[in-house]
Amino acid sequence: MKIWVDADACPVVIKDILFRAAERTGIELTLVANQRIHIPRSKGVKFLLVKSGFDAADNEIVKRLSHGDLVITADIPLAAEAVEKGAYALNPRGEFYDADNIRSRLNVRDFMDALRESGIDTGGPPMLSKSDRKSFADNLDKFLTHHVRNT
């Protein structure tokens, strides 16, 4: 199992949680982005720089993704592709995407895109709260503990 991070928009505090988790568990963590990102010196933490372009990082993650890997992303289409390939997807707020909820999330995303395209200001997502960070850390820890124990 590997952890793949859609790193261009991933909050620094979430990356820090992931760095500590990778160090603690020994699970390989790869951050994928189209701009350089600082990562700690650790044999289990890698960085993959992709060319700039629409969905370049997402496409690279999907290409390299294996069944059972974990993807960290707030990008719903990327999460849908990960779930379709048999991987797990967790967003920075600590919510897992799965076959049961991904379709409705895609529908809401498409609806919001249509509203924005028609000129309606839908605002953005709220700031990442302390409870979001805790939820992410707790759910990541539960997932990794379960996965490490069952491999």
Most confident of 76-80, 111-115, 116-120: 76-80
- Reported residue count of the chain is 151
Mind listing the pLDDT tens digit for each residue in 91-108? 999 999 998 877 767 666
> Has residue 83 been placed in a domain?
yes
Within-domain flag for 125:
no
- pLDDT, position 120: 76
CATH of the domain at 20: 3.40.50.720
**Mean pLDDT, the chain, integer:** 89
In a domain, 34, yes or no: yes
Confidence at residue 31, expressed as pLDDT on a 0 to 100 scale: 98
> Would you say residue 104 lies in a domain?
no
Q: For residue 12, is it within any domain? A: yes
pTM: 0.86
For 65, the domain range is 2-98+130-149
**Is position 113 within any domain?**
no
Give the chain's domain count.
1
